[in-house]
Structure 1
């Protein structure tokens, strides 16, 4: 059995079921319990009674001792107001997380979650359940090294007013959460536990005997010949066996005729020292999280393997490389010819993420030319500017011309809002291409300037132009005979806090767009 720490999810229609040692109610109002199901009427009296003696009721999580439920523990976790301009479905996830953590504090090991039903938020129940599961995640190192701390809860009952509905909801939650666990495991684990060779071990074990095919490239000579930009970043780390890079390809093809093909390229920098342009002043801490883009790709494939959508083919690439510093590290001013034949001048070795993805994106572009209804994506914790521009909780998506015609970014934003996995939309402009155009006759493309992205105008938009130019995707725009839709996702903000646990974003939104409609 997989050691995921995921509690057993149990459908429940009776809040008085004695197998549960606590009942967690998530809603914005006790009145919402009326008319939903007679089974919940019993909860109203103790909640309303407590309201009479505590003015903070409805503003924070409350634990009530009552004999209405066998465990005596009734936890009310309010969402707060839901009707203001700026309220969104994430209030349910926040309330679910706070409620379950209070239940754990009270000693619960198998609590029951009363899922909310709210007509204004059609996915409120699923979003709440996912919020609870985010809160009970146990990091991989703890599961392996301190097993007595795992799991935080052994079972989670999920109440709904319809058995079929709650059972379907549990299947959905299991599929999404198993993907998010893989994403958090790879993205959040320390730089030795998830160095590139150990990512290979984790991924290979995860997809053994599943519908996902795994192909691993580890030869430095192959990297130099086929992925020269990635090879440059890997050059220093390749001298240390346990840090040597891996390019891991994943492939899934669902049953039936293929109607859609996705290509996902994930940045997997297992540790980012900044290279020769070293990160100084204490800003290197947390750079093991620079692999969350590749982690998202792996997690997406885990959800594919669990849910088995039909009519879709997905090719993923995990670009697992350590940006080390030393006598073999690549340096600014080097000129490297990319897989697409583009001469790239290195401007800053701390812009390594775009380097490891560009040639792999070129490879995916070559495959996409012959694919059915293709879409290409790069997913990366790429820039500090993304956080400066949009804040720490939002993924950013930007389309090339063909993807804009498909409305990819706007659709992703709409779906993300429904599922509590939000996106902000940025636009790739002509200034971004001008910024990366070579500044002398020596080079075609400039990789980066010398300033941090957070101090550079259009610091999160322009890297997408570099990726388009260096991969040869600029030959497949709206003006070409064979346009290819491409979108770049910068998840530096949404991937999660450090210190803290990765969020698994934007897996849920991506799954809602490309997997759930094909079940």
Structure 2
């Protein structure tokens, strides 16, 4: 799609020449569009009881008198915020589904449009056109407009253009993350993720290395290797580097959990809904999507993406409960439950991150069902002992409309990880399971500021709506951009 900022014509909004015009009408305001013909049509529809300025209400008007756009879609919003605008635009696009619209114009009535509104429009339009087809070629692609215009005042044009550029890059990153995570595990293998990283690197000029088992063994990643040993599918360790600042500038490191299928290993999961464990590489998918967005936006900051990826399978040579392994850091781990495997591959990647002397490290993982119980499917769990870093990530989550909630990391939770046979156990009791998982990872992060995002509840949806969401690409991209702005 081609996104553009369009200055409101001198003749008013009704003179915009588009195949369809979505007008977002905030419920908390009474201001009209400023266009006589459009305001008359809205007033008539409201008086007739066909439309109310309430969130979720839409009305389609065809060939409205005095309006140049042949189709007008009125869409109610809770208020004039970017979040409410995003929801209203999504409803408007859905209401236009099936109609031939090559040029779509969008306007917000009675309020100024900001970069946040522009970003929201670009993201929602990109997502509306996404359809998974890789193993379902019968799924019909949704016809989307070739051009999408956000109508704004002349004074806001530059800001809106920048918002559209940013939103389009984030939207493409989200779509990439969704596509990778949606592919079944017999298609989305560690090898595939490595090839995808190389493709992104080639397109956006990133330095990419994909290490195999031999290289991982040489690095001494015994914890990572213990998870991969039960599968015949070869592991990969992906290293992606974006150089946007001076070589001396410390990078941000993003670490994504890449378990392309999780059976639980010897600690086998129940059969029900195990198919959804193809999404256990949601963290890895979000790192790929974020690196793609960063590669397109080219912020002045250095970023490293690390993805340890493998399958967790039961076999005659799989790691057993009670086995003790030595991590890359030299710390030993008693594996009490092989289904707590994500932390075992992440801990070695977190140790590897030290070589970059990072300004900050953020790991992203569909790590625990306990986080889903705690926060449901709206907020990601954010863990960090660093108040400043946690604050930056929470601010990024708000600006990206990609919610996160800070969780505790009190030292008392460490008690649950004590082992009689190793430096630590890989699990504690069920109580506070998402916290003890984060405390396990914290033991490998003493060399730098660190945060952990548990995205088990937000990276995908289950049941009838099963599919990846692409979260938290938006949060991560906003975090990187804010760091770039701060350094600039």
What TM-score do you get using the length of structure 2 for normalisation? 0.89
**What is the rounded CA distance, in whole Å, between the counterparts of 2:399 and 2:115 in structure 1?**
8
CA RMSD of superposed structures (Å)? 2.8
Q: Out of 444, 451, 459, which is 2:433 matched to? A: 459
CA 1:223–1:388: 2 relative to 1, 3 Å: same
1:399 and 1:488 in contact (8 A); partners too: yes
How far apart are 1:445 and its partner, in Å?
0.6
Relative to structure 1, the CA distance from residue 354 to residue 57 in structure 2 (aligned partners, 3 Å threshold; closer, same or farther) is same
Against the structure 1 CA distance between its residues 32 and 410, is the aligned structure 2 distance closer, same or farther, given a 3 Å change threshold? farther
What is the correspondence of 1:57-206 to structure 2 with a 5 Å cutoff?
57-59=52-54, 60-65=57-62, 66-81=64-79, 89-115=82-108, 118=111, 123-139=116-132, 141=134, 145=137, 149=141, 151-162=143-154, 163-206=157-200
Q: 2 CA distance for matches of 1:114 and 1:200?
A: 42
Q: Rate the CA distance shift 1:154–1:64 in 2: closer, same or farther, 3 A.
A: same
Matched positions, count: 474
Aligned-partner Cα distance in 2 for 1:46–1:325: 65
Contact 1:263 1:316 in 2 (8 A): yes
Residues 115 and 129 of structure 1 are in contact (CA less than 8 Å); yes or no, is this contact kept in structure 2? no
Equivalent position to 1:385, from 361, 365, 370: 370
Distance 1:308 1:122, change over 3 A: closer
**SS of structure 1 residue aligned to 2:461:** coil
**Kept in 2: contact 1:134–1:503 (CA 8 A):** no
- CA deviations on 1:175-225 (whole Å, 9 max, x unpaired) are 222222222222222212211111222221222153311100123563475
Which ranges of 4 or more aligned residues in structure 1 deviate by more than 6 Å? 119-122
Aligned to 1:4: none
1:367 corresponds in structure 2 to: 356
Alpha-carbon distance between aligned partners in 1 of 2:148 and 2:248, rounded to the nearest angstrom: 37
Task: State the secondary structure of the residue aligned to 1:280.
Answer: coil
Distance 2:149 2:179 in 1: 25
In structure 2, what is the Cα distance between the partners aligned to 1:363 and 1:10?
42
Are 1:295 and 2:285 an aligned pair?
yes
Residue 510 (structure 1) aligns with: 476
Q: Partner residue of 1:20?
A: 18
Work out whether residues 220 and 231 of structure 1, in 8 Å CA contact, stay in contact via their aligned partners in 2: no
1:388-403 equivalence runs, <5 A:
388-400=373-385, 403=386
Please state whether the residue corresponding to 2:270 is helix, strand or coil.
coil
Structure 1 residue corresponding to 2:424, chosen from 441, 445, 448: 445
Cross-structure match for 1:418: 399
Q: For 1:263 and 1:61, how far apart are their aligned partners in 2?
A: 43
Q: Give per-residue Cα distances to partners, 1:414-439, cap 9 Å, x unaligned.
A: 3322331111011211122111122x
| CA deviation string 1:202-250 (max 9, x = no partner) | 221222153311100123563475211111111122x2xxx32211100
User: Per-residue CA shift, 1:386-410, capped at 9, x if unaligned?
Assistant: 111112011221112xx22xx2112
Q: Tell me what 2:455 maps to.
A: 491
Deviation at 1:347, TM superposition (A): 1.3
Work out whether 1:353 is the aligned partner of 2:336: no
CA distance in 2, matches of 1:426, 1:493: 14
The worse-fitting range, judged by mean Cα deviation, of 209-218 and 256-265 is 256-265
